[in-house]
Every structure is written in structure tokens, then in C-alpha cells.
Amino acid sequence: MIIAQISDMHIRPHGQLAYRRVDTARFLARCVEQLARMAPRPDVVLATGDLVDAGHPDEYRHLRELLAPLPMPVYLIPGNHDDRGALIREFGDHDYLPRAGRFLHYVLEQYPVRLVGLDTLVPGQGGGLMCEERLAWLGARLEEAPGRPTVIFMHHAPFLTGIAHMDRLGLEGALAMGKVVERHPQVERVLCGHLHRPIQLRWHGTAVATAPSTAHQVVLDLREEAPLAFAMEPPAFLVHVWREGTGLISHTSYVGEFAGPYPFREGGKLIE
Ligand SMILES: [Fe+2]
Ligand SMILES: [Fe+2]
């Protein structure tokens, strides 16, 4: 099974840039083109939040147009820039999205890897939250299928990065979530967005990976006083390959036009 993960697309209404600079729609269109061309084709695409920039209905309409060329199912999870109501209204045909309850949590059972989508959004704030209700939901879902390899995907990452500004917009309740997850060794990976950078760490008996943005990236500056800033480092998405007996192998795929591919060998001999 191949799971592609895109994140932090920050789509604006037609013709508008994000932060007056970033043509997030053009970046997503290029990413979608690359995903659609992949062979073998990913089975699913997980979109880990900040799908749009301001939670506006026009932005979700635009997002829908941009995702339309993808031949595989796309599963959406909200981030701090999203609005649950506007998201549901535009993506009403996405049957996996719950119609009742306060959160857009769901479980996808139909794949070799069980996919658990977690909603960490708190309207009006940048940081996320794992409250008692969310923790109980997650615990119950993990309890249901102890023998099935599981991936949790969510927007806010449950750890501090050392990027001071992002850490102030972190995930409240992360430690409590870790205590739930560590009781369930079937959790192969926790996949997050929000940080606009690829980051990995060992965490409560599993591994966490965050995806870069499909558009702008957060500057890697570990000084306490570092200003919050973005840079146009290469956009990318993650490709998580599930192999029985090995587990989940996470690749990074950069989006853009790059020179190559060039062969290493010519006439059966390594080129010197
Ligand atoms: Fe973001
Ligand atoms: Fe975010």
C-alpha cells in the first residue's frame, strides 16, 4: 500500500496570493500533477490540514477544483487555518467525514493499514488541542483493532520542535496523547503537518513524521528569538510505503522541475 501525504496547501480564493507572495494554488496544481503521474500510483492521499488559508467557502471551492485531477481518494483533516463547517459544505460527498459530533475524526478500515484521522482544530487559535473527549475517542479506536497496523494522521504535531514560534502554536494535551498511543504498539506512525518542514522523532513507542508544505516552508531557525518567517524552499510531499514484514517506509518527494534522471551506467559500466 502506498500512502501519499500532502500538507499545508493554504489555498486562497482564485487570483489571491497567501501572505501577498505565495501562489499556493499553482504550487498545489504542480503537486497534484506529480502525484497523478506517479507509478505505481499511491492508493490514497492524506491531506493533513491547513487545506485552505482562511476557512472561507471560496477557498474550499478552489481547493476542490485543484484536487479534482487526482485519480485516487483524498482524505481531509482540518488544521488551524480551516473551518469545519465550510469544509463539510464543500466536501459533502466525502462520505468518510462525520456528519454528527463536534470533531472531524474518522477511521478508514478498508486498507491494509488502518488510517485514523484526528481533528486537533480549536476555532480561532493557532495551536491545537487533544482534550479529554478526543483522547477518549482515540483510545477507543485504538482499542478496537490491536492487531492491525495503524497510522494516525493529524494537523498539529505532538512535540516541541525547537522552532520557538511554532512551539508556541503547538498541541496542548500532547503528553496525554502520548500516554494513550504508547499502550498501542500497532501504531506504526503519527503523521502531522502544521510545521511546514519534514521532521522525524521517536515518540511514545512509535515514530512521528511531519510533512513539508506543498507551497512555502517555515524557516529552520533554532534561536529562541528567531522571527516567525517562511522561505520558498522546495515544496514536497511524503510517500509512505507499507510493506508486510518491513513496516512503513517514509520517502520525501520534492515537487518541481529538476535536471535528470541521468543513468549511472553506460554500456553496462559505471560512468566515470
Ligand atoms: Fe500551515
Ligand atoms: Fe497549521
First to last CA, the chain: 37
- Per DSSP, 231 falls in state E
Which residues neighbour ligand 2 (ion) by CB within 5 Å?
50, 79-80, 194
pLDDT at 112: 98
In the reported structure, the alpha carbon of residue 194 is separated from the centroid of ligand 1 by a whole-number distance in angstroms of: 5
pLDDT at 272: 87
Q: Which ligand is nearest to the CA of 166?
A: 2
Distance CA(205)–CA(183), nearest Å, equals 8
| pTM of the predicted protein model | 0.97
In the reported structure, the alpha carbon of residue 127 is separated from the centroid of ligand 2 by a whole-number distance in angstroms of: 8
Closest to 188 measured CA to CA, from 203, 177, 175, 173:
203
In the reported structure, the alpha carbon of residue 170 is separated from the centroid of ligand 2 by a whole-number distance in angstroms of: 9
> Are the C-beta atoms of 31 and 6 separated by less than 8 Å?
yes
Average pLDDT, consecutive stretches of 10 residues, N- to C-terminus, the chain (272 residues): 98 97 98 97 98 98 98 98 98 96 97 98 98 98 98 98 96 98 98 98 98 98 95 98 96 96 93 90
In the reported structure, the alpha carbon of residue 90 is separated from the centroid of ligand 2 by a whole-number distance in angstroms of: 20
Closest to 199 measured CA to CA, from 178, 218, 216, 183:
218
Q: Which ligand is nearest to the CA of 155?
A: 2
pLDDT at 196: 98
Q: Which ligand is nearest to the CA of 53?
A: 1
> Are the C-beta atoms of 174 and 158 separated by less than 8 Å?
yes
